[in-house]
Structure 1
Amino acid sequence: MEGEESLHRFSPEVRIQEPGGIRDAVSLRPPTMLFHGTSDNAIPAASSKEFLEILPGLGAHAELILFEGKNHTDLFLQDPLRGGKDDLFEHVVAVIHDGDTAALAKDAMAPPSRRLVPEVLLRLASGISPF
């Protein structure tokens, strides 16, 4: 399955605009957070921006967080394996603990995560990844 057929079948932006089914359920969803890297060559960040513009018209609450310089897999694959500061993880934890000052204080004291994969392997994987 390629091109237009795949886009129509799997694109959330396309699917939620179709009458019935998914479209009618969008307003029942909890608030949606979209995360996208600005250097994503597989799915441009503009796709998330367009999706974000559609959601309010269907009754959904949504927010888009753009991560400067991140590609398609950095946020959920390379960054966690790299260790240290993980922007996506920190953002999600901050949302979960919003309003809980004790939990936020504990989060601020957490040590950085350790590196799981050498940088040379992450760069190699990034260079051969189709995304």
Structure 2
Amino acid sequence: MGEESELAIAAVRRYAAALRCIQSRLFDAYPDVDGIKDLMVAVRHEKTLPRAGTSSTGVEYAVHGAGCQMIDELGRMVDVDVVDDVEAFDAWRIRGFLDEQSHARPSIEELRTACSHLASTGELVEVRAGRWYALPDRWRKGD
């Protein structure tokens, strides 16, 4: 693999680690919420949570059309959509995270290639071929 590929893979891994950490902290604050789908239901249907807020664990969240954006106290921003009933992200969301957090900014195509590679190794799950990916521990299709 070339240096650009390695940088893109490292970037995707940084996003995945931040997503895992930030989501975990958000869900720790809301024991009845077990995922972004549950959060969206609590906001839109049950109206037990506001559309945007800050959890007791310090994570800001904002529910949007198809998912949720989350920001921790360090300013790390991650965003996921619900795609085919799965919490998923794409290269654009990773790029947005990198624009905030890193000097290394692989291209969208390099990030897509890195995601596909990581899906082939089991580090990610490919939700929609070449476009949407999920963390294996958040892969809950049909839930």
Instruction: Tell whether the structures are fold-level matches, with TM greater than 0.5.
Output: no
Q: Rg bigger for which structure?
A: 1
* Structure with more of its chain in helix, by fraction: 1
TM-score (norm 2): 0.30
* TM-score normalised by length of structure 1: 0.32
